[in-house]
Structure 1
């Protein structure tokens, strides 16, 4: 029987608690970064929207390029050690960016290089994070675990965005980036203390023993491609999976342009600057906190259908920005976006962890991330020129239209509408039945 008390009882599990705290602190560091980096770059002498596009593209592109390699690594090596390495890389990247901002030595190639290191760390971290949850908790507690991880994440987003915006306003972007780097360092230390369950560790050992010995670099390359082919077969065999990933490739294109460049630009020029944009981002995070209350109880019989429907209202804040709506309405739109994205995220991760074999989960997750993020750099590259050619507000309306069209198209596929959760996942008395 599902209840909030039994859900919170998971916090007594050492491994899950360590994972929860590490992710909460890591996301707290990440939440300082968007405002600090965006307004720190825009404040540089001679900087334009195009300058910000270059830096954010430098972060996004390596994240896409290395994502598949990150999936192979996370399926081969202990996922806790992979996560620790990724957090350490992120700490180095953001401390480097902070040092440049604070010293005033900010050549664009150096900024782009540090941002690229952060992108590589994300490519390593994301597949390991998705795959580690089934290693830590039992299968019947996956949705609860994902929801609690989301709760910690969203609390951090709210706190980080508020504190990050205040830090930028009061003492500058460089110090906000220092805080980010220190948070990533602490997360790496906490992940280092994580120990997977013996069963998961034995499975990892057994997987290593059946691999052929690598006697040359060529053998190693062939082995990586063999692993990637196996992950691709798992990915492409599920219509619901590749359709929603294709949908998200367009959503992320629009969101990278809007969240990364166009939104901050409108905030800087017409809404009061960093404080206004921090309020929008904080509204999104508050909405995601509310979404956790829903996802702890929600057990839909068709989870991917519900998840995809939740993507339609995410266009709201961009639509409101595009029509010059008051700031408070944009913040409310961001709250709606946050609720919808949180419901989507928990249902999506839980379905993947339930439907994909554990030994291939990180590789499939890397294909998910690669497909979802592959057009993100294009969105960032196009955002600056679009802001110049048509203006940031019309460009934001275009982003909203793209989100709506992609989401409606995904609903046309029977695999998206028809995938059903196991009966035991939808029969809890306290659960909310949907569809």
Structure 2
């Protein structure tokens, strides 16, 4: 944090994380204030997701072909310019808000792989785990304190002013980060699709990466969906209190903060297996929703889930930055975000019909089983023990990879 280059990177990534988190929450406040309907909220958030999914693979290619810093700049400026249009449309035009949300989502999607690659340029390999943990800690603290502060400010400034504030966060994300030390790779002459396929081939060189990405995607699509959809139902029907919902959600964020603080210093020898074990802890969330446990046990389960997810996230990002060819890092990172977080809305869309057809208990049991088995299966992949194929020795001595 005393190094100027990393401090600028930390401020920029934190600002982008804050802006990403804040938009759905502030739009939720608009619904509470009567400025936006529930259908309008769904449309705006859905169009933001469309923009995200469309931009992530393109940005991965551009961030490898050109300067990562330039991609961060233009994606942040696009999101900053579109945010005031969302504010202008509140209470007036859902269509305007939706169009602007596409641009904001595209900016969000474009900056994610570029920031991942820029971190590898700014921070030396030995300290990237601490750097990734520091970025995570900042975002988790903001998520922990942000809702109360936003709710208070909304009563004084109004929702449109908060949306303008989100635009300012995007402006900081665009302008503050450092240049980085990477040299852009000239275009290979292939199409955008062809260059993205080159990133896919690089990902295939790392079996641990494909296995871990599959496990992460499965856990987010099931465990995260159980949290988002089933937790409110269980809090209402079993415990009859919104406090359980609030405490469990807050417990998850507190656990994630504790996990980031822990992994900033902890270096397990079998780092990959430890990370996958942390990911498998997500299974306790649907299990505790399934069983008639005391509310305190449910909250502690969500704290443990938060700890586990960061014990996975930080080593996962660090290993990707270390192992992947630097020329292709943004493309591989875009594949990561496209599949793991990009497909999360699919899980959200499917879990409610699954509950209707199979029942809450069967659906939660299936989610818990997936959260447990997917990381266990990923742990069997070559290189999964250390998140590195370079440490797998052939029988005749040389390293593979």
User: Fold match, TM over 0.5?
Assistant: yes
User: Counterpart in 1 of 2:92?
Assistant: 105
**Cα deviation per residue 1:342-401 (whole Å; 9 max; x = unaligned)?**
121111111111111211111111122222235323223224545666677875555444
Deviation, 1:80, is 1.9
CA RMSD of aligned residues (A): 3.6
Q: Which residue of 1 aligns with 2:180?
A: 196
Q: 1:92 to 1:255 in 2, by over 3 A?
A: farther
> 1:121 matched to which residue of 2?
107
Q: Distance in 1 between matches of 2:57 and 2:389?
A: 28
Q: Given that residues 24 and 45 in structure 2 are in contact (C-alpha distance below 8 angstroms), is that contact kept between their aligned partners in structure 1?
A: no
Q: CA deviation at 1:86?
A: 2.3
Alpha carbons of structure 1 residues 40 and 395: separation in structure 2 relative to 1, 3 Å: farther
Per the alignment, residue 133 of structure 2 pairs with 147
Q: Write the distance in 1 (CA, Å) between the matches of 2:200 and 2:389.
A: 23
Q: Structure 1 length as normaliser, TM-score?
A: 0.76
The answer to whether 1:182 aligns with 2:182 is no
Aligned to 2:2: 12
Deviations 1:388-421 (A, max 9, x none): 6667787555544432232233234343236459
In 2: Cα distance, 1:400 partner to 1:135 partner: 38
Q: CA deviation at 1:76?
A: 1.7
1:316 counterpart residue number: 284
Residues 258, 116 of structure 1: CA spacing in aligned structure 2 closer, same or farther, 3 A cutoff? farther
User: Are 1:332 and 2:300 counterparts?
Assistant: yes
- The residue number in structure 2 matching 1:79 is 68
2:268 counterpart residue number: 300
- The match for 1:215 is none
The 3-state SS of whatever aligns with 2:268 is: coil
1:282 counterpart residue number: 250
Q: CA deviation at 1:85?
A: 2.3
| Partners of 1:85 and 1:330 in 2: CA distance | 43
Corresponding position of 1:356 = 324
Does the Cα contact within 8 Å between 2:271 and 2:386 map onto a contact in 1? Answer: no
> Is 1:132 paired with 2:118?
yes
How far apart are the structure 2 equivalents of 1:335 and 1:155? 14
Structure 1 window deviating more from structure 2 (373-382 vs 233-242): it is 373-382
Partner of 1:377: 345
**Residues 220-273 of structure 1: per-residue CA shift (max 9 Å, x gap):** xx3423422321221012110111111222222225534555545666887666
Matched, 1:416 2:400: no
Superposed displacement of residue 58, structure 1 = 3.2
2:202 aligned partner: 234
Preserved contact between residue 38 and residue 260 of structure 1 (Cα < 8 Å)? no
Corresponding pairs, count:
390
For the structure 1 residues 46 and 152, does the alpha-carbon distance in structure 2 shift closer, same or farther, using more than 3 Å as the test?
Answer: closer
Structure 1 gap ranges (5+):
1-10, 213-218, 424-435
- CA contact 2:87–2:163 (8 Å) conserved in 1: yes
Structure 2 CA distance, aligned partners of 1:155 and 1:247? 26
Report if aligned partners of 2:227, 2:285 keep a CA contact under 8 Å in 1. no
Instruction: Determine the C-alpha separation between the residues in 2 that align with 1:297 and 1:421.
Output: 23
Aligned to 1:32: 22
Would the aligned equivalents of 2:223 and 2:282 in 1 still touch at CA under 8 Å?
no
Instruction: Indicate the larger mover: 24-33 or 163-172.
Output: 163-172
Does the aligned pair in 1 maintain the 2:259–2:306 contact within 8 Å?
A: yes
**Matches of 1:169 and 1:321, distance apart in 2:** 34
Match of 2:394 in 1: none
Measured after TM superposition, the shift of residue 28 of structure 1 is 2.9
Supply the distance in 2 between the matched residues of 1:92 and 1:28 (Cα, whole angstroms). Answer: 16
Give, in whole Å, the separation in 1 of the partners of 2:86 and 2:297: 33
Structure 2: gaps (5+ residues): 392-401
Query: What corresponds to 1:8 in structure 2?
Result: none
TM-score by length of 2: 0.82
Higher relative contact order (CA 8 A, sep 6+): 1
